[in-house]
């Protein structure tokens, strides 16, 4: 038997158990399966009900929505490719496969499914934020970012803004800006926060983890955003951290 034939038989023998095995029952089971598929550099797997970030990894910890326990082998392979991919193209393709997988309802934390209509007073602000997003996209991102929903929130106490990636349940990506942030710190600071979240959007749409690591800091400096995860905003003796 030729060496090539032996190699092919070996690959088939390695992959068949993964395709036929029952879905992993725990984070430990899933981590073991991902390691069999080639995952490296991850010491622990944490399952979440998070709707905003379906997959993330940092310092040896992989965080996944628990709906991926039941995902087919090709999605598990995409998770490995996303974490271990060496090129943006490979990671972007892996991210597409991951996000297209439908997440079961039971894997999501219960919350209202409908999006409330904006307050009448918010409409001019949202329109201006949308225009600013278009402007920044054209001037600083080469028009590469997708159009995105923007909303204001009165519930954000300790954050100035947030980017939420699309997920397998069908919820689209969105950027949220704190209404209190605009009121207390002014429009210029709110636009800085919008641009900060657009850098996260750029990460997501280019197959990168959504974090404040080296690529975030590099892009933040490029577009003129303070390259930190948290920043102090001072206005009228009020201090706030983003």
- pLDDT, position 104: 65
Range of the domain at 8: 3-107
* Model pLDDT, residue 230: 63
Give the pLDDT score at 133: 95
Q: State whether 74 and 178 are in the same domain.
A: no
pLDDT-derived band at 92 (thresholds 50, 70, 90) equals confident
For 177, the 3-state DSSP assignment is strand
- Taking residues 100-108, report their average pLDDT: 65
CATH number of the domain that 10 lies in?
Answer: 3.30.2010
Say whether pLDDT at 102 is over 70: yes
Segment 207-215 shows an average pLDDT of 88
Q: At which of 54, 86, 107 does a domain end?
A: 107
Q: Is residue 114 part of a domain?
A: no
Q: Are residues 125 and 172 in the same domain?
A: yes
pLDDT in tens, 7-58: 544 444 444 455 556 778 888 999 999 999 999 999 999 888 765 567 888 8
- Is residue 192 a part of any domain in this protein? yes
Number of domains in the chain: 2
Residues 49 and 124 in one domain: no
The mean pLDDT value for 198-218 works out to 90
Residue 32 within a domain: yes
pLDDT exceeds cutoff 80 at 171: no
Q: Are 12 and 5 in contact (CB under 8 A)?
A: no
**pLDDT (0 to 100) of residue 67:** 85
Whether residue 239 has pLDDT greater than 70: no
Residues 74 and 165 in one domain: no
Q: Are residues 128 and 236 part of one domain?
A: yes
Asked if residue 14 is part of any domain, the answer here is yes
Q: The CATH number of the domain where 138 resides is what?
A: 3.30.2010.10
Is the per-residue pLDDT at 100 higher than 90? Answer: no
3-state secondary structure of 147: coil
Last residue of a domain, one of 53, 82, 107: 107
pLDDT tens profile 108-148: 554 444 456 788 888 999 999 999 999 999 999 999 999 99
pLDDT bucket at 172, cuts 50 / 70 / 90:
confident
pTM, to two decimals:
0.57
The model's confidence at residue 182, banded by pLDDT at 50, 70 and 90, is: very high
Domain membership flag for residue 112: no
Distance CA 181, CA 154 (A): 9
Q: For residue 63, what pLDDT is reported? A: 87
Question: Of the ranges 29-38, 98-107, 183-192, which one carries the lowest mean pLDDT score?
Answer: 98-107
Same domain, 131 and 237: yes
Look over the chain and give the mean of its residue pLDDT values, rounded to a whole number.
80
Q: How far apart are CA 117 and CA 230, in angstroms?
A: 30
Q: Are 70 and 76 in contact (CB under 8 A)?
A: no
Q: Does 126 lie in the same domain as 89?
A: no
Q: Are residues 86 and 157 in the same domain?
A: no
Claim to verify: residue 185 and residue 219 sit in the same structural domain: yes
What is the DSSP annotation of 72-139? -HHHHHHHHHHHH-SSHHHHHHHHHHHHHSPPPGGGS-----SPPPPPGGGHHHHHHHHHHHHHHHHH
């Amino acid at each position: 038997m030729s060496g090539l034939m032996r190699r092919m038989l070996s690959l088939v023998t390695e992959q068949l158990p993964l395709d036929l095995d029952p879905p992993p029952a725990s984070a430990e089971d899933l981590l073991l399966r991902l390691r069999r598929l080639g995952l490296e550099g991850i010491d622990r797997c944490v399952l979440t009900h998070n709707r905003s970030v379906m997959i993330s990894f940092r310092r040896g910890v992989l965080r996944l929505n628990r709906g991926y326990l039941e995902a087919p082998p090709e999605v598990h392979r995409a998770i490995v490719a996303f974490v271990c991919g060496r090129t943006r193209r490979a990671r972007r393709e892996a991210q597409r496969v991951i996000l297209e997988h439908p997440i079961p309802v039971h894997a999501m934390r219960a919350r209202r499914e409908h999006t409330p209509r904006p307050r009448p007073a918010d409409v001019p602000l949202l329109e201006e934020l949308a225009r600013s997003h278009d402007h920044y996209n054209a001037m600083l991102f080469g028009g590469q970012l997708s159009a995105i929903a923007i909303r204001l929130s009165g519930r954000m106490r300790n954050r100035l803004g947030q980017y939420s990636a699309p997920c397998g349940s069908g919820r689209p990506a969105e950027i949220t800006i704190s209404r209190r942030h605009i009121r207390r710190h002014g429009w210029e600071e709110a636009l800085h926060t919008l641009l900060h979240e657009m850098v996260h959007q750029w990460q997501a749409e280019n197959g990168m983890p959504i974090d404040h690591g080296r690529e975030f800091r590099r892009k933040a400096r490029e577009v003129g955003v303070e390259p930190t995860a948290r920043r102090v905003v001072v206005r009228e003796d009020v201090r706030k951290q983003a």
